[in-house]
């Protein structure tokens, strides 16, 4: 099983993301969780972010999950719903996580919780 983690920084301007350090967060995620990679994008709902999501979905096989740390999960589902159809990505392999107002440690816990709920957290993960 493979897991890709995409983090949105909301252009670095949203007060909801001020508690987190987006420069160190990908390293923290890759160090603590058993994932293929973690990346931060300034605006996943913008043009470049949509292309990143599309690439992540397109390159995913049936054994791949994409976890997105960003705004409210329902908003994420609405934003990326068309991308599921366009890429053929399985919606049940999309894991939206609300990371607003969280520190890096709290973000790691929220990501770990989502993975535990889906029984995707391996024994190798430290979370």
- Give the pTM: 0.90
- One digit per residue, pLDDT tens: the chain, 127 residues? 899 999 999 887 788 889 999 999 999 999 999 999 999 999 999 999 999 999 999 999 999 999 999 999 999 999 999 999 999 999 999 999 999 999 999 999 999 999 998 877 654 444 4
Which pLDDT does position 10 carry in this prediction?
Answer: 85
Kindly list the structural domains of the chain, giving each domain's residue range(s) and its CATH number in brackets, ordered by start: 2-117 (3.40.50)
Which pLDDT does position 127 carry in this prediction?
Answer: 47
Q: Give the closest residue to 68 by CA, choosing from 34, 111, 37, 30.
A: 111
The length of the chain, given as a count of residues: 127
């Amino acid at each position: 099983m493979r897991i890709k983690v995409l983090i949105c920084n909301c252009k670095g301007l949203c007060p909801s993301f001020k508690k987190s350090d987006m420069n160190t967060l990908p390293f923290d995620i890759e160090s603590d969780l058993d994932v293929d990679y973690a990346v931060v994008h300034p605006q996943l709902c913008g043009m470049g972010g949509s292309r990143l999501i599309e690439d992540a979905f397109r390159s995913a096989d049936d054994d791949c999950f994409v976890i997105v740390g960003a705004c409210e999960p329902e908003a994420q589902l609405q934003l990326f719903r068309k991308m599921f159809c366009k890429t053929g990505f399985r919606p049940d392999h999309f894991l939206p996580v609300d990371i607003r107002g969280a520190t890096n440690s709290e973000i790691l816990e929220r990501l770990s919780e989502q993975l535990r709920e889906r029984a995707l957290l391996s024994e190798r993960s430290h979370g």
